[in-house]
Structure 1
Amino acid sequence: MPTKHIDDRTWRKVEKEAVKATIATERSIKETDMLKWLINKGLEHITVDDYDDIAKSKKG
């Protein structure tokens, strides 16, 4: 499986979501599973306009 660096701030958000999911479902949710779910959910909803916003924020 490919690995990529995830900055600490983003990883803490993933960890918090995993805790929320664990509490909500009363089942243990691994951070790596949560990351995969978050990525896939985001991929379902990202738009070309979002790409433009990302590109603009990188310039400034």
Structure 2
Amino acid sequence: MPSKHIDDITWRKVEKEHVKAVVTTQSSLKDTEVLKILITKGLECISDEDYELFAKKKRERNKT
């Protein structure tokens, strides 16, 4: 399985969604399953404008 670093703040959000998914479905789900759902859903929704906004914010952060 490919491995990439996920920062702590983002991972905590994934963990919260994991708990929410388990409570909502009342079934056992692995954190990797929830992560796959989040990534897949995000890929369906992301736009070029989202990337541009992210890059703009990143440039602004790097100026300071």
TM-score under structure 2 normalisation? 0.89
Can you list the C-alpha shifts for 1:14-41, whole angstroms capped at 9, x where unaligned? 0110101100110011111111110110
The answer (yes or no) to whether the contact 1:19–1:29 under 8 Å persists in 2 is: no
Unaligned 5+ runs, structure 1: none
Could you tell me which residue of structure 2 aligns to residue 55 of structure 1? 55
* Identity percentage of aligned residues: 60
The answer (yes or no) to whether the contact 1:18–1:29 under 8 Å persists in 2 is: yes
Show structure 1 runs of 4+ deviating over 3 A. none
Give me the whole-angstrom Cα distance separating, in 2, the residues matched to 1:14 and 1:29. 13
Give me the whole-angstrom Cα distance separating, in 2, the residues matched to 1:36 and 1:58. 25
Does the residue aligned with 1:18 lie in a helix, a strand or coil?
helix
TM-score under structure 1 normalisation? 0.94
Unaligned 5+ runs, structure 2: none
Report which of the two structures shows the higher radius of gyration computed on alpha carbons.
2
Could you tell me which residue of structure 2 aligns to residue 29 of structure 1? 29
How many residues are paired up?
A: 60
The answer (yes or no) to whether the contact 1:14–1:35 under 8 Å persists in 2 is: yes
CA RMSD of aligned residues (A): 0.7
